[in-house]
Structure 1
């Protein structure tokens, strides 16, 4: 489903973020991306939704070559990739419903379909009763659940979660993991960049460790492998 072949990334300032990455992620997998700060994790996941382009190598997603994908086709690629950020990125003047609906409005889904799908995903993240609330009326965990609902409302094949528990307390972090696991059980591929040692060591999934721009470990049901 996601395949990187000999992928490298060097930024304009000369920093080598990734070096000769080879990896295959199958449909329906749940994969943790771990490693020290500055190791290349963010670059790795940004290339999957074409926020960044590789300097060398090839990236394939569902048979589409991202390295030759024209810019005008990038929005269509992103309809199949949901992204969950550490800092939520919700629109403060929109309600929970409106924040999630916005992802469908930009692709001009019919209004009747928007309402149905938004309420479906709010039910999945257990926020149906807060559809009319604004972000500043929610806890951090609830805001992250809205972010997840927005990421999955297009029914993407892949969800990329970039440090989704980074700003949350431990109890709330486990709640977010319950939601991500539920989404994964429904068939969505999950890639989660994280520094949360406890979560990785408790909820066993595939672990890809990146250090100095290289994959140094790729283990099924792996451990975090770092002290912090």
Structure 2
């Protein structure tokens, strides 16, 4: 599913963000990426949807080698991957329906299919009654659920989430995590970078810990392992 072999990433300013990364993530897994700020978590995440390119090594997603991927092939990769960000990244002047539909329009999904699929995912995240609202009319938790709906609308095999509860209160964070767990239960691979000790320690999943650019721990049913 996702295989990294001897991956290094050094930026143009000489900073090495990742060093000797080896990891194998199977279809349907739920994986937390944890570690101190600046350890390399965001770079690790960005490599998987080719926001960043490795300096050396191999990254395979379903036998597609991201290290050798041409720029024109990146949209094809991203059809298989949904990405959820901490700050939602919704288009402020579009309705909730339009924000989600846009993700299908850019991959040229037939219009006949778009309405049903958008309404289906809005129902899945509990926001069917908000289709005509704009983002500013929604709470932070509702906006994050819209961003999740947008990430899964084209039925990706993988959802990558970078600190998806970082701007949310505890109760709303648990609602968002329940949504992710439901998505994972349908067979979608979830990879989530997080600083939430409570979430990681309560929802026991695989934990990959990154420190000083290297993987220092990879545990099934792992714990957060850091003081907040």
Shorter-chain TM-score above 0.5: yes
Q: Show structure 1 runs of 4+ deviating over 2 A.
A: none
CA distance in 2, matches of 1:102, 1:72: 20
- Number of the residue aligned with 2:88: 88
Q: Report the alpha carbon displacement of residue 106 of structure 1 after superposing the two structures with TM.
A: 0.7
Match for residue 45 of structure 2? 45
Q: 2 CA distance for matches of 1:108 and 1:24? A: 32
Tell me the equivalent position of 1:55. 55
Structure 2 matches for 1:24-43, cutoff 5 A? 24-43=24-43
Match of 1:122 in 2: 122
Cα distance in structure 2, aligned partners of 1:3 and 1:31: 14
**Deviations along 1:36-73, whole A, 9 cap, x unmatched?**
00000000010000000111100000011111111111
For 2:13, the equivalent position in structure 1 comes to 13
Within-5 A mapping of 1:132-143: 132-143=132-143
Give the unaligned 5+ runs of structure 2. none
Note the C-alpha offset of 1:211.
Answer: 0.2
SS in 2 for 1:87: coil
* Two-structure CA RMSD over aligned residues (Å): 0.4
Could you say which residue in structure 2 is the equivalent of 1:74?
Answer: 74
Indicate the SS of the match to 2:195: coil
Q: Matches of 2:109 and 2:23 in 1, distance apart?
A: 35
1:170 has 2:167 as partner: no
Aligned partners of 1:112, 1:167: CA distance in 2, in Å? 36
Question: Across the two proteins, how many residue pairs are aligned to each other?
Answer: 228
Query: For residues 13 and 66 of structure 2, what CA distance do their matches in structure 1 show?
Result: 23
- 1:95-114 to 2 correspondences below 5 Å: 95-114=95-114
1:191 aligned partner: 191
Deviation track 1:59-97 (CA, whole Å, cap 9, x = no partner) reads 000011111111111001001000000000000000110
Name the counterpart of 1:207: 207
Residue 146 of structure 1 and its aligned partner are, at CA, apart by: 0.1
The Cα of 1:111 is off from its aligned counterpart by 1.1
